[in-house]
Amino acid sequence: MTEVVATNETILVVGGGISGMTAALEAAETGKQVVLVEKRPYLGGRVSQLYKYFPKLCFPTCGLEINQRRAKMNPNLRVLTMAEVMDIKGEKGSYTASVKLSPRYVNENCTACGDCEKAVETEFDDEYNYGLGKRKGAYLPYRMAHPQRYVLDPNIVETDDGKKAKDACKYDAIDLDMSEETIDFPCGAVIWATGWRPYDAAKIQPYSYDRIANVITSVEFERMADPSGPTGGKLVRPSDGKEARKVAFIQCAGSRDRNYLLHCSRICCMASLKQCTYVSDAYGEDADISVYYIDIRAIDRFEDFYQKVKGIEQVKFIKSKPAAVVADKDGNPVVHGVDTEGYKRFEDTHDLVVLAIGMEPSVDKDDFPVDIQINREGFIEAAPENGGVFAAGCASDALDVNRAAQHATGAALRAIQAVTGAAGVEG
Amino acid sequence: MTANQAMIENYRNSFLKEVEANVEEGEWVKMCMQCGVCSGSCPLGKFWDHPPQEIFMMIRAGKRDQVLGSDSMWMCTSCYNCIVRCPRELPITHIMHGLAHYAKRLGLVPANQPTAKFAQKFWDNLMAKGRVNELKLGLSLYFMNGFGEGVKVAMKNQKLGMNMMKAKRMNPMEIMGGHAVQDLSGFQKAIKKAAELEDARIAQPGG
Ligand SMILES: Cc1cc2nc3c(=O)[nH]c(=O)nc-3n(C[C@H](O)[C@H](O)[C@H](O)COP(=O)(O)OP(=O)(O)OC[C@H]3O[C@@H](n4cnc5c(N)ncnc54)[C@H](O)[C@@H]3O)c2cc1C
Ligand code: SF4
Ligand code: SF4
């Protein structure tokens, strides 16, 4: 049975992405007890799936590493992975959280040597790579995963592969008898940092995501650009593996549209501008990049980055929300639309189309285990009715990492105030 | 002063306001964010002088003569592709019909615009008996572009006509005048009154 030491002064953080980690660490470093609950087998959230960060084009791993080190060193922080909050009862200053822990089938003896992975055979879609590649049934979710501990896919536990994995482990780290458990513990405040997920691109029917292999989403493109990703960092066409030199970015795919998501996802203009540099870095003068947009929203100091990308000769900007993407007989995606500057029709053939997919809240409106104010876009509103529950990062709005971390720091302060108040009442 | 001149006087500097006040669903025009999805989605778009997106911009830019005298909105076939795709849910199809209707009231329809001609024939046909006489309407359509052309089209559709008669979908006797609604004079009175009200509204700009 997993033990969690907690009191009414404990802060519960739900979601271990960059926002949840930031909030948890800020609070823990002031001396508060913090329990961080993360659904995935590792911390870092969606940031761990990015290749580079705009605007500096540095690697997210470096920031994540610092946070991971802070987490390891802090005795006030308890991290639960593969964990989900099922219910939160009570009120500000005295909640009881009920958390479900899914079995990992691998205990802390694991040294991440990888022998189990070599021993097993069955492969599954790799969720870390948004299904672009495969992973084995015994796997390390990604190279830098924290905790550095393998995971067994529940589907292999009762198969031959399960036994093979167990036999291959020299450290007795594989425990096929682990089972799901639910634990209850008290807390005085909750920081809700469950982040975002990419909007389902197949719903945008005119863009043919579910019908044309060479139409992909921006999150998949991030994985493709990563040298440790499914294509080894090569920007290629999923249909035939050929180089993708002529690339189209379609902005607002799902966002700012009453048929899909009402809001502007805010970061996708910057994400596409960043991804333009991936293509021009890979193919230099042979790159041919088109960005189809309604308007480019590179806010505040990001304007500099926009100007920089505008300066790349191989990048064209076309002011138009395309009407449709269709495949020609060779499987090339053809983008159709009318250009707002001149009202000319176009029919442009590309190697690859990247949909700058919108960000939606990762938790559906009706699935919150606690009473909370949700706005019409599905994000958490800051409201007194929320009591001791505070949103952090993309659970509150579509934000970039910098703004998400700032927001998370604010949430940490509010949570600290809430539990400090609770202590005052008790003492 | 013609209705057209009255309107020009009244909305001197704002064609957008004129459209908002007088064109069906015209108050939606300002919601357009110029994304271009409607224009790209229109199956007949390449035959339009100005696709819907451009029409909306022209309205805002005060290009009154070019908009109301345009052939474009008459090209709309009511397929509704634009409406379902517009990210701002503008009722584009209805606005196109609203503009066409408004241009017609002000006498600004381009000469020989085929959709406008058909609409007029349909109206006249309907007004005569209070119901549409399909046989007469069909024939008048065939001969819309001259006698020779009409005979040719009629010959081509002969078989269809015979089948329709067999299936009792068309009665050749309707050519004799056709049957009317029960209270034809009541119907005509009602329509006349509606037309008067509408004319009064138009004559009173901004109303
Ligand atoms: C294509 C693309 C490129 C981007 N590039 C950049 C960039 O270059 N620079 C930049 O600043 N920003 C970028 N962003 C934005 C960036 O991804 C976000 O700002 C960041 O992920 C926000 O972090 P977060 O912690 O709020 O959410 P997330 O990263 O979504 O983390 C949320 C965490 O909560 C967990 N979780 C979810 N539900 C539950 C639950 N019920 N229980 C427990 N845990 C749960 C998730 O597993 C996840 O680990 C990009 C976004 C996109 C779409
Ligand atoms: S950030 Fe850009 S691409 Fe994303 S929704 Fe807003 S305008 Fe569209
Ligand atoms: S689709 Fe809607 S918002 Fe876009 S240009 Fe057409 S009318 Fe305007």
Give the pLDDT confidence score for residue B170 in this predicted structure: 78
3-state SS class at A62 = helix
**Which residue on chain A is closest to B34 by alpha carbon?**
A340
Listed as ranges, residues in chain A with pLDDT below 70 are: 422-427
Mutation pick for ligand 3 pocket among B28, B83, B92 (CB with most ligand atoms within 8 Å): B92
What does the block give as tokens for A88? 């939160």
Give the pLDDT confidence score for residue B203 in this predicted structure: 66
What does the block give as tokens for A316? 């064209």
Q: Which atom of ligand 3 is nearest to the CA of A340?
A: 5
Give the pLDDT confidence score for residue B166 in this predicted structure: 86
Core vs surface per residue A370-405: b (16+ CB within 10 A) or e: bebebeeebbbeeeeebbbbbbbbbbbbbbbbebbb
Give the pLDDT confidence score for residue A427 in this predicted structure: 41
The pLDDT tens digits for B145-185 are: 778 887 888 888 888 888 888 888 777 777 777 788 899 99
**Residue of A198, A197, A222, A217 whose CA lies nearest to A51:** A222
* Domain positions in chain A: 11-102+180-195+362-426, 115-168, 198-359
Chain A interface residues facing chain B, Cβ-Cβ under 8 Å? 206, 252, 256-259, 294, 319-324, 336-340, 343, 345
Contact B37 A337 (CB under 8 A): yes
Give the pLDDT confidence score for residue B205 in this predicted structure: 59
The domain A198-359 is placed in CATH, from the list 3.40.50.720, 3.30.160.20, 3.40.250.10, 3.50.50.60, at 3.50.50.60
Give the pLDDT confidence score for residue B61 in this predicted structure: 94
| pTM given for the model | 0.92
Question: Considering chain B, what is the average pLDDT of its residues?
Answer: 89
Minimal Cβ distance to B36: which of A258, A259, A320: A320
Contact indicator for A217, A209 with CB cutoff of 8 Å = yes
Closest residue by Cα to atom 13, ligand 1, is A400
The pLDDT tens digits for B53-71 are: 999 999 999 999 999 999 9
Round to whole Å and give the CA distance between B177 and A302: 73
Give the pLDDT confidence score for residue A422 in this predicted structure: 60
Q: Which domains does chain B have, with CATH numbers?
A: 3-110 (1.10.1060), 114-197 (no CATH)
pLDDT more than 90, % of chain B: 59
CA distance A316 to chain B (A): 17
What does the block give as tokens for A186? 């008290």
Q: Is A16 in the pocket of ligand 1 (CB under 6 A)?
A: yes
Contact A323 B36 (CB under 8 A): yes
CA distance B28 to chain A (A): 15
DSSP codes joined into one string, A159-221: SHHHHHHHHH-TT--B-TT---EEEEEEESEEEE---EEE--GGGSGGG-TTT-TTEEEHHHH
> Same CATH fold, A198-359 and A11-102+180-195+362-426?
yes
CATH code of A11-102+180-195+362-426, in short, is: 3.50.50.60
Which amino acids bring their CB within 6 angstroms of ligand 2?
A: A 251-252, 255-256, 264-266, 268-269, 294, 297, 356
Looking at the DSSP assignment, which residues form a beta bridge with residue B182? none
Minimal Cβ distance to A337: which of B36, B87, B89: B36
Give the pLDDT confidence score for residue B178 in this predicted structure: 77
Q: Is B61 near chain A, with CB under 8 Å?
A: no
Per CB-CB distance under 8 Å, the chain A contacts of B36 are: 319-323, 337-340
